[in-house]
A and B are shown apart, each in its own frame.
Chain A
Amino acid sequence: MPTQVLMPALSPTMEKGNLSKWVKQEGEKVKAGDVIAEIETDKATMEVEAVDEGTLGKILVPAGTADVAVNTPIAVIVADGEDASAAATPAQQNKAAQSAPPAAAPATAETPKAAPSAVANPPQPTAQPVPEFGDDAQEDVELVTMTVREALRDAMAEEMRRDPDIFVMGEEVAEYQGAYKVTQGLLQEFGASRVVDTPITEHGFAGLGVGAALAGLKPIVEFMTFNFAMQAIDQIINSAAKTLYMSGGQMGCSIVFRGPNGPAARVGAQHSQDYSAWYSHIPGLKVVAPYTAADAKGLLKSAIRDPNPVIFLENEILYGQSFQVPKVDDYVVPIGKARIARPGTDVTLVAWSMGMTYALKAAEQLAEQGIEAEVIDLRTLRPMDTETIVASVKKTGRCVVVEECWPQSGVASEIATRIMENAFDWLDAPVARVSGKDVPMPYAANLEKLALPTVDEVVQAARAVAYR
Chain B
Amino acid sequence: MASQKKVAETPAPAATRPSILPIDASPVQELGREADLKAFRDMLLIRRFEEKSGQLYGMGLIGGFCHLYIGQEAVVVGMQLAMREGDQVITGYRDHGHMLACGMDPRGVMAELTGRRGGYSKGKGGSMHMFSREKHFYGGHGIVGAQVSLGTGLAFANKYRANGNVSLTYFGDGAANQGQVYESFNMAALWKLPVVYIIENNRYAMGTSVQRASAQVDLSKRGASFNIPGELVDGMDVRAVKAAADRVLEYCRSGEGPYILEMKTYRYRGHSMSDPAKYRTREEVEKVRVESDPIEQSRARILANGWADEEALKKMDAEVRKIVNEAAEFATYDPEPDASELYTDILR
Contacts and interface: CB of A to CB of B under 8 A. Distances in A.
A286 B140 CA distance: 24
Given A217-B157, A245-B124, A207 B190 contact: no
Interface string A211-223: 1111111000000
A252 interface: yes
Given A211-B154, A215-B153, A244-B346, A204 B187 contact: yes
B146 A235 contact: yes
Given A193-B160, A284-B346, A208 B149 contact: yes
A207 B184 contact: yes
B29 interface: no
Interface in B147-198: 148-158, 160, 179-180, 183-184, 186-187, 190
A291 B345 CA distance: 30
18 contacts: A204-B180, A204-B186, A205-B183, A207-B152, A208-B149, A208-B150, A211-B138, A211-B151, A238-B142, A244-B345, A244-B348, A246-B129, A247-B125, A247-B130, A249-B345, A249-B348, A250-B120, A286-B347
A201 B133 contact: no
Given A204-B183, A247-B125, A250-B132, A212 B151 contact: no
Given A199-B186, A235-B146, A211 B345 contact: no
Instruction: Give the one of A245, A284, A286, A307 with max B CB within 10 A.
Output: A245
A93 interface: no
Nearest to A167: B160
Given A199-B190, A204-B152, A234-B146, 8 more contacts: A204-B149, A207-B146, A207-B184, A208-B150, A235-B146, A235-B180, A247-B120, A307-B348
Interface in A273-303: 283-284, 286
A198 interface: yes
B345 A212 contact: no
B121 interface: yes
Contacts of A246: 121, 124-125, 129, 131, 139-140
A235 B179 CA distance: 13
A244 B132 CA distance: 12
A244 B347 contact: yes
B187 A198 contact: yes
B150 A214 contact: yes
A450 interface: no
Interface of B: 88, 90, 119-125, 129-133, 138-143, 146, 148-158, 160, 179-180, 183-184, 186-187, 190, 344-348
Given A248-B120, A248-B124, A250-B132, A203 B149 contact: yes
Contacts, number: 142
Contacts of B346: 244-245, 283-284
A230 interface: no
B120 to A, nearest CB: 7
B347 A211 contact: no
A239 B150 contact: yes
Contacts of A212: 153-154, 156-157, 160
Contacts of A217: 156-157, 160
A211 B156 contact: yes
A216 B125 CA distance: 21
Contacts of A250: 120-121, 131-133
Contacts of B141: 238-239
Contact of B138 (A207, A244, A251): A251
Contacts of A211: 90, 138, 149-157
A282 to B, nearest CB: 10
Contact of A199 (B133, B152, B187): B187
A247 B139 contact: yes
A243 interface: yes
A201 B132 CA distance: 29
A209 interface: yes
Interface in A223-247: 234-235, 238-239, 243-247
B153 A213 contact: yes
